[in-house]
């Protein structure tokens, strides 16, 4: 299986391994390119291709027998490489799927797979006619998908004849052709294609049956679908009604007249002009009054009208479009210079007179060059302005960076000066505490004069004691 190469799993980082799935019918199918982080929902979508059973009918179980939830992954259920997963379905679908897988046509046609079936179940007895028709159509589609997956060609045709639709889809957007192409059942694919199955219809992942056949490695089936698609397109092609002469391959190029526009238009015009258009190149050879053209009728009419006006405007002259006289060409008057200083032939003069106020080629060329110079000058100015703008921005950034560096240096200098000031203040305070100012005496330096104090207090006289 080539699904990994198709980009479906290429973004996953991990180790891939294979599993087996065993159906309740006893069939076993391989499941490739499984990884631990793969969700059960994605595994069921893969099972549609592997088993042919739509994902909404599947019930996957492992060793414990419990249903695997859609939001869980492979690693959650401890599934090891090479393990076998069991696939079961709801009870009401078992008989139908078993009969479709076995290819038992007589039994299957009695199980409600056609529009006029009388098959009923307890739940279908409560349905109205519209709901019952939808129910029968779903049963027919499931049977068709499984029968086509197994390659039961006769049963597939019987189901389609009974009303099974080749356009119905699974919840993943896959028709019976998607499932059959992924399994490479060429005969069943042929039956589905002949009954109107659509090749261009993509599923929810954007893959159509042609792409799926290639991704799953079935090259012969891919080639078969491609050839059928090509034949269908070729059958719808019809030759284009065009009055002009076209080559054979141009008659079927497209429904649109693409050869009238684009780079290849002149090539096509040159190929489809009749061989006599440019014959007779003599200087006096008359030109055809009516030019053959491959252009649409409206464009051809406009061109013929322009030519007619030109011819009518040249009746008074000796020269007409396509007809010149040797005498006129050799006459001195025909060789007189024009206003540009160049000699003009009678044909050129006739054309210039017929064109009226139209500019000459030199005027047009000069105007074109002037326009190109003007555009180049504007472009140069724009580039110069952009360059100046970039330089101004760079200069502003540099100035900003420079001002920041200057501010940082100033801050550092201020911090350093402040630190020095604080150091001086502390030193001065310390010196004052150790050496006080002159004129002030401390108790240690000043001695007490006791005698002087006694004299001042008049206590030096002896005290008389009376007996």
Q: How is 378-410 classified by DSSP, letter by letter?
A: HHHHHHHHHHHHHHHHHHHHHHHHHHHHHHHHH
The answer, yes or no, to whether residue 437 has pLDDT greater than 80, is: no
In this structure, the answer to whether residues 193 and 207 fall within a common structural domain is yes
* Radius of gyration, alpha carbons of the chain: 52
Do 228 and 329 have their domain in common?
A: no
Same domain (yes/no): 263, 342: no
Burial call 323-351: b when 16+ CB within 10 Å, e when fewer: ebeeeeeeeeebeeeeeeeeebebbebbb
The yes-or-no verdict on residue 41 having pLDDT over 70 is yes
Q: Is residue 61 part of a domain?
A: yes
What pLDDT is attached to residue 307?
57
pLDDT exceeds cutoff 80 at 104 = yes
How many Cβ atoms are within 10 Å of 19's Cβ, its own excluded? 21
Domain holding 355, by residue range, is: 319-367
The share of the chain scoring above pLDDT 90, in percent, equals 47
- For residues 43-58, give the mean pLDDT: 94
pLDDT at 439: 46
For residue 175, the domain's CATH number is 1.25.40.20
Which stretches of 186-289 are assigned E, i.e. beta strand? none
Note whether 202 and 271 are same-domain residues: no
In a domain, 335, yes or no: yes
Cβ-proximal residues to 196 (8 Å cutoff; 6+ apart), any chain? 166, 167
Does any domain span residue 373? no
pLDDT at 320 (0 to 100): 38
Q: Point out the least confidently predicted range of 76-90, 284-298, 392-406.
A: 284-298
| Residue with the larger pLDDT of the pair 306 and 104 | 104
Q: Is residue 220 part of a domain?
A: yes
- Domains of the chain: total: 3
Q: Are 63 and 23 in contact (CB under 8 A)?
A: no
Question: Directed axis angle between helix 176-183 and helix 219-236, to 10°?
Answer: 130
Do residues 185 and 101 both lie within one domain? yes
Distance CA 315, CA 208 (A): 68
| Same-domain pairing of 76 and 136 | yes
**Is the predicted pLDDT of residue 158 greater than 70, yes or no?**
yes
CB 227 within 8 A of CB 257: no
Same domain? 228 vs 258: no
Q: Is residue 445 part of a domain?
A: no
In a domain, 389, yes or no: no
Considering the domain architecture, whether residues 28 and 9 belong to the same structural domain is answered as yes
| Least confident residue range of 58-67, 139-148, 279-288, 393-402 | 279-288
Measured between alpha carbons, how far is 176 from 181 in angstroms, rounded to an integer? 9
Pairwise pLDDT comparison (354 vs 410), residue with the higher score: 410
Estimate the crossing angle of helix 153-161 against helix 186-194, to 10 degrees: 20
Establish if 270 belongs to a structural domain. yes
Beta bridge partners of 23: 87
Q: Are 24 and 94 in contact (CB under 8 A)?
A: yes
Q: Which residue has the higher pLDDT, 452 or 342?
A: 452
Edge-to-edge strand list for the sheet holding 17-23: 28-34, 17-23, 84-89, 58-61
Q: What is the pLDDT of residues 331-343, one digit of tens each?
A: 444 444 544 444 4
Is 247 or 100 the better-scoring residue by pLDDT?
Answer: 100
Mean pLDDT calculated for residue range 299-327: 49
Q: How many CB atoms lie within 10 A of CB 422?
A: 10
Q: Which of 223-237, 242-256, 392-406 has the lowest mean pLDDT?
A: 242-256
Distance CA 308, CA 173 (A): 63
pLDDT digits (tens, 9 = 90+) for 394-430: 888 877 776 777 778 888 888 888 888 887 777 776 6
Query: What is the distance between the alpha carbons of residues 214 and 225, in angstroms, rounded to a whole number?
Result: 10
Give the DSSP letter of residue 344: -
Mean pLDDT of the chain: 76
62 and 106, same domain (yes or no):
yes
- What pLDDT does 397 receive? 83
Instruction: Give the range among 63-72, 297-306, 362-371 with minimum mean pLDDT.
Output: 297-306
- 177 and 246 fall within a common domain: no
Please check whether residues 205 and 353 belong to one and the same domain.
Answer: no
205 and 135 in a single domain? The answer is yes
From the list 32, 28, 74, the residue with the least C-alpha distance to 51 is: 28
pLDDT score for 331: 46
Contact 36, 100 (CB under 8 A): no
pLDDT at 267 over 70: no
Q: Which two tokens stand for residue 373?
A: 């110079």
CA-based nearest residue to 181, from 205, 214, 154, 203: 214
Q: For residue 395, what pLDDT is reported?
A: 83
Q: What are the b/e assignments for 122-132, b being 16+ CB within 10 Å?
A: eeeeeeeeeeb
Q: Is 295 left (phi over 0), alpha (psi -120 to 50) or beta?
A: beta
Position 154 pLDDT exceeds 90: yes
Query: Among the listed ranges 275-284, 365-374, 449-458, which one has the minimum average pLDDT value?
Result: 275-284
Looking at residue 36, the DSSP 8-state letter turns out to be: T
Q: Is residue 449 part of a domain?
A: no
pLDDT over 70 for what percent of the chain? 62
């Amino acid at each position: 299986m080539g699904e990994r190469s198709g980009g479906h799993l290429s973004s996953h980082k991990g180790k891939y391994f294979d599993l087996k799935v065993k159906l309740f019918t006893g069939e076993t199918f391989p499941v490739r390119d499984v990884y631990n982080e793969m969700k059960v929902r994605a595994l069921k979508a893969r099972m549609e291709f592997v088993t042919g059973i739509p994902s909404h009918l599947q019930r996957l179980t492992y060793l414990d027998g419990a249903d695997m939830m859609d939001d869980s992954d492979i690693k959650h259920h401890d599934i090891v490489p090479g393990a076998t997963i069991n696939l079961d379905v709801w009870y009401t679908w078992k008989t139908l799927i078993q009969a479709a897988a076995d290819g038992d046509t007589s039994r299957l046609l009695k199980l409600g797979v056609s529009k006029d079936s009388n098959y009923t179940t307890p739940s279908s007895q409560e349905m109205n006619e519209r709901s019952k028709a939808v129910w029968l159509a779903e049963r027919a589609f499931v049977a068709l998908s499984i029968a086509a997956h197994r390659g039961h060609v006769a049963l597939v045709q019987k189901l389609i004849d009974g009303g099974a639709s080749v356009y119905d889809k699974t919840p993943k957007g896959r028709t019976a052709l998607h499932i059959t192409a992924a399994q490479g059942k060429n005969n069943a694919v042929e039956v589905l294609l002949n009954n109107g199955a659509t090749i261009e219809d993509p599923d929810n992942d954007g893959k159509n049956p042609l792409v799926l056949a290639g991704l799953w490695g079935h090259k012969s089936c891919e080639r078969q679908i491609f050839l059928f698609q090509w034949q269908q397109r070729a059958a719808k092609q019809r030759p284009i009604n065009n009055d002009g002469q076209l080559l054979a391959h141009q008659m079927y190029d497209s429904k649109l007249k693409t050869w009238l526009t684009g780079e290849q238009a002149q090539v096509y015009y040159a190929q489809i002009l009749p061989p006599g258009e440019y014959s007779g190149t003599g200087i006096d050879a008359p030109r055809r009054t009516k030019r053959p053209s491959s252009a649409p009728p409206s464009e051809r009419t406009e061109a013929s009208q322009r030519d007619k006006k030109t011819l009518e405007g040249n009746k008074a002259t000796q020269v007409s479009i396509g007809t010149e006289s040797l005498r006129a060409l050799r006459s001195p008057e025909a060789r007189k210079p024009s206003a540009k200083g160049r000699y003009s032939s009678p044909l050129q003069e006739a054309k210039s007179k017929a064109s009226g106020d139209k500019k000459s080629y030199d005027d047009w060329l000069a105007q074109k060059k002037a326009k190109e110079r003007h555009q180049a000058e504007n472009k140069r100015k724009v580039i110069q302005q952009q360059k100046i703008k970039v330089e101004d921005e760079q200069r502003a950034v540099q100035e900003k960076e420079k001002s920041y560096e200057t501010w940082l240096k100033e801050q550092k200098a201020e911090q350093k000066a402040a630190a020095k000031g604080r150091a001086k203040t502390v030193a001065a305070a310390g010196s004052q505490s150790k050496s006080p100012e002159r004129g002030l005496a401390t108790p240690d330096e000043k001695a007490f004069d006791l005698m002087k104090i006694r004299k001042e207090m008049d206590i030096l006289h002896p005290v008389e004691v009376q007996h």
